[in-house]
């Protein structure tokens, strides 16, 4: 199993664009930088549109990069750094899952941790998701703070009963006698021809479970910050990691930081339309934003990050300003995050909308293996541009 998954591993992951001065590292390609700069200059009653360059074109001088504060990490390394810091800080933190030990995890997030902390704190398990998920929940009830790694998020459907009936509800059904400080994390999303069973997006499955929080990381910076926050939370947290973002590189602070599990991130302020997105689609949106700016539009881009609960404060303030909303997600259209977000905005901010909400989602079909067909099932930047143009007519 480990050998098979290695062929889908970190070094083969890729992402096209970044809005955080990020770099991509791919085995067959040089490390390149994708800049995102913005300029606004309201003068004489006119608004100067923000200039965004999302296409990676050049490698930064290593000397100038080294002079900047912080250190550069790939996203999977940022996850590992956050996990390692929390294991160092709190001896109750432990990891369990398939191949998380000396193999280092299918995407190397736990590489080296077994050597440092031992086989009991970084526990290799059999291929039995329902068993080791239930074991982790029991460990949390007795005072530990376990992190469950799914080799692929789709495999955690085998543990749905444990996650739903136990992890999410035990605090309530025990009358508050138990807390379940558990993190459930792993790779998911549509990769590069991984087939239907390995391209699952489970956000829609888990969002209806009472007692569970859900977050999705999209940059090395927020991956580390959300990992640390999830481990420290007294609630069970599902952390979604996209399989194609593991090789995204970014400079993050040297000093410790922890992000909120319930806050969205303002990626790009704008005036004409609010675009809400998360995970990999953040980069499709930012690619589309370049085209939209060249066409005279000024989109506001928000990475919602917190999938449950939604940050309705940040979202609401944006809706009140732009009066138009486009939601872009990789989740399925029926019953997805976009459907829940649409309902929440209509319920809370309907009077501020000048047009119906547009929701761009993946098609309700199994993800094809063929690369061309796979691409057709997922929202592409051209579709985002067309949706904004039509909405802002």
20, 72, 81, 198: the active-site residue: 198
272 is an active site residue:
no
What does the alpha-carbon distance between residue 230 and residue 183 come to, in Å, rounded to a whole number? Answer: 6
- Active-site residue 350, yes or no? no
Distance CA 380, CA 357 (A): 18
Beta strand pairing status for 248-252 and 71-74? antiparallel
Convert 16-36 to b/e letters by CB count within 10 Å (16 or more is b): bbbbbbbbbbeeeeeebbbbb
Contact (Cβ atoms closer than 8 angstroms) between residue 51 and residue 41 = no
**End-to-end Cα separation, the chain, in angstroms:** 52
Q: Which stretches of the chain are assigned E, i.e. beta strand?
A: 22-24, 32-34, 71-74, 93-97, 122-124, 145-149, 183-188, 213-216, 237-242, 248-252, 265-268, 273-277, 299-303, 306-308, 325-332, 358-362
Q: Which of 77, 81, 98, 129 is catalytic?
A: 129
Dihedrals phi, psi of 357, to nearest 5 degrees: -70, 135
Cβ–Cβ under 8 Å, residues 223 and 183? no
Beta sheet of 32-34, edge-to-edge order: 32-34, 22-24, 248-252, 71-74
Nearest to 79 by CA among 213, 187, 177: 187
CA distances, 220 to each of 75, 116, 167, 387 (Å): 4, 23, 27, 29
Is residue 204 within 8 A of residue 336, CB to CB? The reply is yes
Which residues make beta-bridge pairs with 300?
A: 274
Nearest to 215 by CA among 110, 301, 303: 303
The residues that are catalytic are 129, 198
């Amino acid at each position: 199993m480990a050998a098979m998954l290695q062929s889908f591993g970190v070094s083969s992951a890729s992402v096209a664009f970044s809005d955080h001065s990020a770099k991509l590292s791919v085995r067959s390609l040089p490390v390149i930088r994708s800049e995102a700069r913005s300029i606004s200059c309201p003068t004489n009653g006119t608004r100067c549109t923000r200039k965004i360059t999302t296409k990676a074109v050049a490698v930064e001088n290593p000397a100038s990069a080294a002079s900047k504060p912080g250190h550069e990490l790939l996203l999977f390394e940022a996850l590992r750094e956050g996990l390692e810091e929390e294991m160092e800080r709190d001896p109750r933190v432990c990891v369990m899952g398939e191949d998380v030990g000396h193999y280092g995890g299918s995407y190397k997030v736990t590489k080296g941790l077994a050597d440092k902390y031992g086989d009991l704190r970084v526990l290799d398990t059999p291929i039995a998701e329902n068993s080791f998920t239930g074991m982790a929940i029991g460990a949390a009830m007795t005072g530990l703070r376990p992190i469950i790694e799914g080799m692929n998020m789709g495999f955690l459907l085998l543990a749905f009963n444990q996650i739903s009936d136990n992890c999410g509800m035990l605090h309530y059904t025990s009358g508050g006698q138990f807390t379940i400080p558990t993190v459930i994390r792993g790779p998911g999303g549509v990769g590069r021809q991984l087939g239907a069973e390995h391209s699952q997006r489970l956000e829609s499955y888990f969002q209806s479970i009472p007692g569970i929080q859900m977050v999705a990381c999209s940059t090395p910076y927020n991956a580390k910050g959300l990992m640390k926050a999830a481990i420290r939370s007294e609630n069970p947290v599902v952390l979604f990691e996209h399989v194609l973002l593991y090789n995204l590189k970014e400079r993050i602070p040297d000093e410790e930081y922890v992000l909120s599990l319930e806050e969205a991130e303002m990626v790009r302020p704008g005036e004409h339309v609010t675009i809400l997105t998360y995970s990999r689609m953040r980069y499709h949106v930012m690619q589309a934003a370049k085209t939209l700016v060249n066409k005279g539009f000024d989109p506001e881009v928000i990475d919602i990050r917190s999938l449950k609960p939604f940050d309705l404060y940040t979202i609401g303030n944006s809706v009140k300003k732009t009066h138009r909303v486009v939601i872009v997600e990789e989740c399925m259209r029926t019953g997805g995050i976009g459907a829940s977000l649409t309902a929440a905005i209509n319920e809370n901010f309907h009077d501020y909308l000048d047009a119906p909400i547009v929701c761009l989602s993946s098609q309700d079909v199994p993800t094809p293996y063929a690369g061309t067909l796979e691409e057709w099932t997922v929202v592409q930047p051209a579709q985002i541009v067309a949706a904004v143009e039509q909405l802002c007519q």
